[in-house]
């Protein structure tokens, strides 16, 4: 009897430990974001003259999306949606990339700039904060572009460590950006100005390798937003004694020398290879979710995509981007998915994978698309929206199933408008506006209702 009671006591005491031991470990998360990468700028998406063996191999090890979209056609908007898991329109002031030197580029952004509020508020409960609360060590190495003011630094959003470019683009070697007041250093470490030697793409990989080695006990969230292949267009072997002048032909985004553009992407591919090798060396690859995508479609410097439009527009060329996800043991390797998905769907997916609980009253706009893939569920139609503002120009887009509506308004004048069936016309060459007026009106109504629902909070 005494032995029986002792056994029961042992089971009672050991039960919590046994349950904990049975629970699977939280996955590490590595999120890699390219900057202005065109939809077909990788070998696995069809490019022939840019070598990307690392990312091509990653696609064979996981899922490659063919109808993946950025939440916005420019930098800051998509980054806002990524970190909040919500449409960036809800935040206010971030529907356009913040201009170099902290410039607001449309009325709401200009208003917020005058009160020193142009950026992503810490009150938005960003992904870094959520994962940190869930027990993750967090780091960001790369491009921030979500506010220059001290209250908008990565540290305010839950990142334990951050080496970052504050603005939209900087000299890859001298780490300065042109502003209305002259060139300024925009490289920071944990909120303080930082001086480093080296090509920025390589510096990102250096920091990532060190972080992975130091945090192998996990779990960790490593956010790597590369500046490549955003301008200025500088190859890794092109260091000059002085920064590029403001009037250098390497700064305009649509005028990259083709060979230099390729070299920038190839160096980024090599940097991603270093990160993946660090995971292998630390024995972490099997329990790490790796995501690669781009913040928006390519500029005129990108390789031809067959899609209409480019960065800054809501045509497919401005918002359709590569997306590759590897999660060993959870996502089937070698999968090609036609599921329509957006950046903020990855936020919802990462949060669920990490066991994150949202604060009361907070929900994601994105959907957990990775859970559907893991469960081998069929693709589902989506209804999704875009809006981008700059000056008095507003681009909008709505996709409902295969139908997509695009409109650009300049002032009060409609400059561009069209309706397209993407299943039959991926290049948006055949406008159905006149032949399907009822569908056009329906999508206009959906877009108007969405705009009202996502009215900004400030």
The pLDDT tens digits for 79-132 are 999 999 999 999 999 999 999 999 999 999 999 999 999 999 999 999 999 999
Contact 62, 276 (CB under 8 A): no
Among 9-13, 152-156, 159-163, 442-446, the minimum mean pLDDT is found in 9-13
**pLDDT 10s digits, 407-432:** 999 999 999 999 999 999 999 999 99
d(CA 288, CA 271): 17
For the 385-453 domain, the top CATH level (class) is alpha beta
pLDDT of 457:
82
Tell me what the mean pLDDT of segment 308-316 comes to: 98
Q: How confident is the model at residue 336 (pLDDT cuts 50, 70, 90)?
A: very high
Beta-carbon-side half-sphere exposure of residue 86 (alpha carbons within 13 Å)? 22
Domain residue ranges in the chain: 25-379, 385-453
Mean pLDDT to the nearest integer, 316-321: 98
Q: What is the mean pLDDT of residues 388-403?
A: 98
Residue 23's pLDDT is what? 64
**Beta carbons within 8 Å of 63's beta carbon, 6+ residues apart:** 324, 325, 326, 331, 332, 335, 336, 337, 373
pLDDT surpasses 60 at 3: no
| Nearest to 332, CA basis, from 140, 59, 20 | 59
In the block, tokens 């060139």 appear at 183
pLDDT in tens, 174-227: 999 999 989 999 999 999 999 999 999 999 999 999 999 999 998 999 999 999
Within its chain, how far is the Cα of 342 from the centroid? 9
Is the pLDDT score of 8 beyond 80? no
Instruction: Answer yes or no: are the C-beta atoms of 414 and 408 closer than 8 Å.
Output: yes
* Buried/exposed code over 299-334 (b: 16+ C-beta within 10 A; e: otherwise): bebbbebebbbbbbbbbbbbbbbbbbbbbeebbeee
Q: Is the peptide bond before 229 cis (omega within 30 degrees of 0)?
A: yes
Is the predicted pLDDT of residue 350 greater than 50, yes or no? Answer: yes
CB 409 within 8 A of CB 392: no
C-alpha distance from residue 237 to each of 114, 327, 332, 456 (Å): 40, 34, 38, 44
Q: What is the DSSP letter of 122?
A: G
Rounded average pLDDT over 144-153: 97
pLDDT at 165 (0 to 100): 98
The string over 399-435, giving b where at least 16 C-beta atoms fall within 10 Å of a residue's C-beta and e elsewhere, is bbeebbbbbbbeeeeeeeebbbbbeeebebeeebeee
Active-site amino acid positions = 75, 145
Give CA–CA dist 266/54, Å, rounded. 9
> What is the average per-residue pLDDT within 53-77?
98
pLDDT at 43 over 80: yes
The string of DSSP letters for 420-458 reads EETTT-TT--S--TTT-HHHHHHHHHHHHHHHHHT----
- Domain 25-379: give its CATH code: 3.40.720.10
Report the pLDDT value the prediction gives residue 12, as an integer from 0 to 100: 47
Which of 85, 39, 206, 87 minimizes the C-alpha distance to 139?
206
Work out the mean pLDDT of the chain and round it to a whole number: 95
Residue 212, phi-psi category: left (phi > 0), alpha (psi -120 to 50), beta (remainder): alpha
């Amino acid at each position: 009897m005494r032995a029986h009671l002792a056994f029961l006591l042992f089971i009672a005491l050991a039960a919590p430990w046994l349950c904990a031991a049975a629970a699977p470990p939280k996955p590490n998360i590595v999120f890699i974001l390219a900057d202005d990468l065109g939809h077909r700028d990788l070998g696995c998406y069809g490019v022939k003259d840019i070598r990307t063996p690392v990312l091509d191999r990653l696609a064979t090890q996981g899922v490659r999306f063919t109808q993946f979209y950025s939440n916005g056609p420019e930098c800051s908007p998509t980054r806002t949606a990524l970190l909040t898991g919500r449409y960036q329109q809800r935040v206010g002031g971030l529907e356009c990339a913040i201009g170099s030197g902290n410039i607001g580029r449309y009325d709401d952004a200009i208003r917020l700039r005058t009160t020193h509020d142009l950026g992503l508020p810490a009150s938005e409960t960003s992904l870094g904060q959520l994962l940190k609360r869930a027990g993750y060590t967090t780091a960001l190495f790369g491009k921030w572009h979500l506010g220059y003011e001290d209250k908008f630094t990565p540290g305010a959003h839950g990142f334990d460590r951050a080496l970052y470019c504050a603005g939209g683009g900087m000299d890859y070697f001298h780490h300065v950006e042109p502003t209305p007041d002259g060139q300024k250093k925009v490289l920071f470490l944990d909120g303080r100005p930082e001086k480093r030697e080296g090509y920025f793409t390589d510096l990102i990989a250096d920091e990532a390798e060190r972080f992975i080695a130091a945090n192998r006990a996990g779990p960790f969230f490593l956010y790597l937003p590369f500046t490549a292949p955003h301008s200025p267009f500088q190859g890794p072997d092109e260091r000059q004694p002085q920064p590029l002048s403001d009037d250098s032909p390497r700064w305009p985004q649509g005028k990259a020398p083709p060979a230099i553009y390729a070299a920038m992407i190839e160096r980024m591919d090599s940097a991603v290879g270093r990160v993946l090798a660090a995971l292998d060396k630390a024995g972490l690859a099997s329990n790490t979710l790796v995501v690669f995508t781009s913040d928006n479609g390519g500029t005129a410097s990108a390789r031809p995509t067959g899609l209409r439009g480019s960065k800054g527009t809501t045509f497919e060329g401005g918002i359709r981007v590569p997306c590759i996800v590897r999660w060993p043991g959870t996502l089937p390797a070698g999968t090609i998915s036609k599921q329509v998905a957006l950046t903020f769907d990855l936020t919802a997916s990462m949060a669920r994978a990490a066991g994150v609980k949202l604060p009361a009253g907070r929900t994601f706009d994105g959907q957990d698309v990775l859970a559907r893939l893991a469960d081998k569920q069929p693709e589902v139609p989506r209804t999704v929206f875009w809006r981008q503002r700059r000056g008095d120009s507003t681009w909008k887009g709505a996709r409902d199933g295969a139908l997509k509506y695009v409109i650009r308004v300049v002032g009060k004048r409609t400059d561009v408008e069209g309706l397209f069936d993407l299943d039959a016309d991926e290049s948006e060459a055949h406008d159905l506006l006149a032949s399907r007026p009822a569908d056009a009106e329906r999508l206009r109504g959906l877009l108007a209702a969405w705009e009202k629902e996502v009215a900004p909070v400030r």
